[in-house]
Chain A
Amino acid sequence: MGNFLRLALRQMDVQLRMRVLSLWSLGLFFTQPAIFSAVGMLLAHAAGNANPDLIYTVIGGGIMGMWSGLVFTSTFDIRADRREGTLELIVGSPTPLRRVVGFRSLLNILAGSTSMLAAVTAAVLIFDYSFAGINVPAVILSFALLLFGLWCMGIFLANLLAWSRLSGTFVDLLEMPIALLCGFMYPISVLPSWMQYISVVFPIRWSLQAMREAMRGTAANAELLSLWGISLGISLVFYLFSHWLDVKVHDHIRVTGELHSI
């Protein structure tokens, strides 16, 4: 257990200093979400909505920051390690790659949650967002499930990147479509029904919906329970698929010799 915790702390420490504490990442976590939030507010006002729903506009921007940060840091990690020649040193050590990827993704998620925190703070301080009616325990649980869903998606994407350097382009292209499909900045009900069908496979769609309902305090417990259950279930599917992919990746990269390729 001691070894496990030390490994976790060391991975997260190095991840923080090598990848997260950079202008690029800080831009992803704070600047980009601020721009999204500002655009969201402007569009709402332009559409004649004098009191836009801050959960979608401002806080939605924070969720965008978490998501973009996760996609780019988790996938950038593997690319950077491959480029720096450290990927083969990690794979050649007794520690499984999945453990390294898991701890790094966790740090990425935690770092990304500062984006959400900043967005909520901005909503309260700048736009007088009120927490009236909020179901605090439900919000906390929904947020935890949101983080878990993001983590499962993060390790899945990182494994995909380890599988093949070509998958990097594919993963980059996923950032905006998933943000749009999961309704980070607007109710998912405004999407065409076929798009709503696609978005059901992403756990963060369900945990986000639960979090919004809990922030408003409007949802019944049964509804929240079903949203949490779906989110957790899909997250676990992502996790199991990542685990399966990890084994495949370990063999695949040792067959193709892609460990050291740029």
Chain B
Amino acid sequence: MPDQKAISTNQMQKTFKTRQGFWRRTTRVTEAVRDVTFEVNKGELFGLLGPNGAGKTTSVKMLSTLLLPTSGTITILGLDILRDTTEVRKRIGFTFGGARGLYGRLTAVENLRYFAELYAMEPALTRKRIPELLELVNLLDRGNDKVETYSSGMQQRLHLARALLHDPELIFLDEPTVGIDPVGARELRATIKELKARGKTILLTTHYMAEADELCDRIAIINKGRIIAMDTPAGMKSGMTSESVINLRTSNENLTALKAILSPIDGKATILCKENTVQSEVSIRTAHPSRVIEVISPWLNTDLIQTMEMRSQTLEDVYVAIIQNEEANG
């Protein structure tokens, strides 16, 4: 039976050593990724979420053969990344967020031709693939313009076209929508959905929870180099608890008074206060929303509570809760 796993890692670990000082040299050790073990099935869209510096990009770089793991094993499409590096590279595509990674003085078509040669693509196939891909990423009419004239969103879409040139089975997308306007991000998400529909396996890293919720079959949350949660987006939302979120707004002057009113529910809810320039926001996450409503209802329609909104948990709430629990527990 063929291996159905596109990615398989076992205790993947990456440690960076940096030397500091000129006369008195000291070595600083940073554990970027620690004992990460997970699997991604073929055809799956898997999300890797985490705060800045959590180890997402380092993980993707190890999976895409750009970094060597300090320890642990990584298998990509049934191939060992250390032993079968070149074969792995032929079968994967990757993009990293940001505007870097393209030759600005060349056109999009010339950039794609250049990278097609690096993947030893036949000229006839290259000629066929380039317009197809430019159409897929909505750049066909700008294909002969220099890349330095492109917006960040267009460059990001061109990155995706580049990653897809050799028709890879597995695609790594590291923060593909970072720095892109909402329209561009929506177009890129539509392209990613289309790729998934075509049977591609995709590993996506992102900061945007709504994006992960919309696109991913499964997600893993990584913090300080370790995976601390892994499930489907729905499973993660329901599995966390059946908590609801109540958001209140008040003036900055009334924030202390509102906190005092909420003191009876302390211990039954997680209360987060955020003081803005004019208004303050109070976010209450609770498994007992009726109890909270009971406490605050006398104060509704007063100056103390200007607006109230109640909703079920989003992936972002779950993500924040998981990260905060992790931080609280050290």
Chain A positions within 8 Å of B, measured between CB atoms, are 3, 6-7, 10-11, 14, 17-18, 83-86, 88-95, 100, 251, 254-257, 259-260
Contact = CB atoms under 8 A, between A and B. Distances in A.
A257 B101 contact: no
B308 interface: no
Contacts of B68: 251, 254-255
B322 interface: no
A78 to B, nearest CB: 15
9 contacts: A6-B123, A18-B106, A83-B100, A88-B66, A88-B96, A89-B162, A91-B66, A92-B66, A260-B96
Given A92-B89, A93-B118, A259 B113 contact: no
Contacts of A18: 103, 105-106
Interface string B7-42: 000000000100000000000000000000000000
B119 interface: yes
Given A92-B65, A92-B94, A10 B103 contact: no
Contacts of B110: 14
A14 B106 contact: yes
Given A10-B113, A14-B103, A93-B115, A3 B96 contact: no
B67 A254 contact: yes
Nearest to B110: A14
B291 interface: no
B20 to A, nearest CB: 14
A256 B16 contact: yes
- What are the 10 A-B residue pairs with the smallest beta carbon separation, nearest first? A85-B100, A93-B118, A85-B101, A10-B117, A254-B68, A95-B118, A94-B89, A94-B90, A3-B120, A7-B117
A257 B115 contact: no
Contact of A90 (B58, B65, B118): B118
Contacts, number: 78
Nearest to A87: B101
Contacts of B115: 89, 93
A94 B86 contact: yes
B102 interface: yes
Interface in B122-144: 123
A10 B65 contact: no
Contact of A17 (B66, B89, B94, B106): B106
B109 to A, nearest CB: 13
B101 A86 contact: yes
B16 A257 contact: yes
Interface residues of B, number: 31
Interface of B: 16, 58, 61, 64-68, 86, 89-90, 94, 96, 98, 100-106, 110, 113-115, 117-120, 123, 162
Contacts of B16: 256-257
The A interface is mostly helix, strand or loop, or mixed, namely: helix
Given A84-B100, A257-B61, A14 B114 contact: yes
Nearest to A86: B101
B66 A259 contact: yes
A7 B96 CA distance: 24
Contacts of A90: 118
Interface centre among A17, A257, A259 (most CB of B within 10 A): A257
Given A84-B103, A95-B118, 8 more contacts: A10-B114, A10-B117, A18-B103, A83-B100, A85-B96, A89-B115, A260-B96, A260-B100
Contacts of B117: 6-7, 10-11, 95
A93 B89 contact: yes
B180 to A, nearest CB: 17
Contacts of A83: 100
Contacts of B66: 88, 91-92, 254, 259
A83 B100 CA distance: 8
A79 to B, nearest CB: 14
Contacts of B58: 257
A95 B86 CA distance: 8
A14 B111 CA distance: 9
A170 B69 CA distance: 30
Contacts of B119: 93-95
Nearest to B172: A92
Contacts of B64: 92
Contacts of B94: 92
A10 B90 CA distance: 19
Contacts of A6: 117, 123
A84 B118 contact: no
A86 B101 CA distance: 4
Contacts of A251: 68
B162 to A, nearest CB: 8
Contacts of A256: 16
